[in-house]
Structure 1
């Protein structure tokens, strides 16, 4: 949630988050399938006897015991701490950050009128269980954020379920490594308004072709600002990046 707040302050047009369903059915915002990389679960005394580190094997109450922020200070994954770009206050706020629920995240979007791309993560060990689709939409309706939400996933069965049951909610197909065959027809099959490929997979010609069919392209994860500006200039509707402030500054020149 600290990242969401900073993104808002930095002028991001929207934010992206990843959703998992955990052991008690709660929907939580977390990127990885396992907890080791970005929490203190490996050293937490309450979980020393737990063999599984998969997030889906833990309840909401258990997950709330974990520190999900200090890892960033320790690993400095983008070099921003070493470069002096993080304030002492931000570092203090990172320590003890908790895994948020989807409700908490969508309430933030509603409060600030900030559009949000909700990526439904492929549920490890239960990818064929489509119930997460309805669970996500229930919360979207409960918090009245239909006007702010875009749903995406690498699991296209989730998108097919979404289109069949909730055609009013806009969708984006996520892909990596290769494009679908007959890409326009494939995207139209899901009624997709957006396409989110790895940025290394696209060029201006593809972006223009998709735009002709009313499909907006938002590549991920573009952290080279020269490349980001080039893609934006080439017609990409959105740029998914870890550096919203840097990109906002470049685009404002």
Structure 2
């Protein structure tokens, strides 16, 4: 585990992160990104949750993966085009309301959240919620968009832990010198492959660690694959199968649900 000045990353052991609350755990099928799923992961001992963020047309930030309601709720429509008064009526799997980011932060005041801002209109509202909740030190913000990563850093300042944006990942992978630049992210959060292109390599892990950055891989649901990545030196794993990751870490003597500093 690489040293870090960010409380979010301060943990004695690999960061075990419940992707969408553990979307593929048998008890959570159909309830991804719901308070029910998040509570289930917390009950297993997870101290890190992952959720995506969207903002409604009137600037309310929801913890939800898709840009549309259609796939997992009993309503339809694009979240950014609907007011909260309409989005709030949707029910995940017909039963669970869509949680607000503020609800999640307030329900578990010591829990750490990895947040992926999925649309440009979510940056400012998400920054406002994080400030309101006093949660800068217990969140890490990522995005596929380098521009959104830069924007949230400007909004919340140097205390905020962020992942690398795509430009920074490319620079780290291809630069002839280790990337140690002020203002870059604290961690690299990537899959092993983007399409057919392998991005997570032993060389990238070495370069990241040499630059004092952590490497988190997503989304890994197979025990053999989890072991392979841990053996390769990754610092954190996102999983939909919270049961499998937990069992692997227990078997390795690396499950530490109280390892995050308060």
The alignment's TM-score, normalised by the length of structure 2, stands at 0.72
Match of 2:140 in 1: 150
The verdict on how the C-alpha distance between 1:109 and 1:191 changes in structure 2, with shifts beyond 3 A counting, is farther
Q: What's the secondary structure of 1:9's corresponding residue?
A: helix
Distance 2:42 2:228 in 1: 23
Q: What's the secondary structure of 2:153's corresponding residue?
A: helix
Match of 1:160 in 2: 150
The verdict on how the C-alpha distance between 1:218 and 1:182 changes in structure 2, with shifts beyond 3 A counting, is closer
Gaps of 5+ in 1: 43-52, 71-95
Distance 1:106 1:169 in 2: 16
CA contact (8 A) 1:223 1:241 kept: yes
Q: Which has the higher contact order (CA 8 A, sep 6+)?
A: 2
Q: What's the secondary structure of 2:91's corresponding residue?
A: coil
Q: What's the secondary structure of 1:147's corresponding residue?
A: helix
Once the two structures are TM-superposed, the CA of residue 237 in structure 1 deviates from its matched residue by 1.1
Gaps of 5+ in 2: 1-34, 194-198, 252-262
Matched, 1:57 2:81: yes
More helix by share: 1
The ranges of structure 1 where at least 4 consecutive aligned residues each deviate by more than 6 angstroms after the TM superposition are 184-187
Distance 1:140 1:187 in 2: 27
Indicate the structure (1 or 2) with the bigger Cα radius of gyration: 1
More strand by share: 2
* Aligned ranges 1:115-194 → 2 under 5 Å: 115-121=112-118, 123=119, 127=120, 132-165=122-155, 166-173=157-164, 180-183=170-173, 188=181, 190-194=183-187
The verdict on how the C-alpha distance between 1:24 and 1:13 changes in structure 2, with shifts beyond 3 A counting, is same
CA contact (8 A) 1:163 1:191 kept: no
Count of residues in Structure 1 that have an aligned counterpart in Structure 2? 208
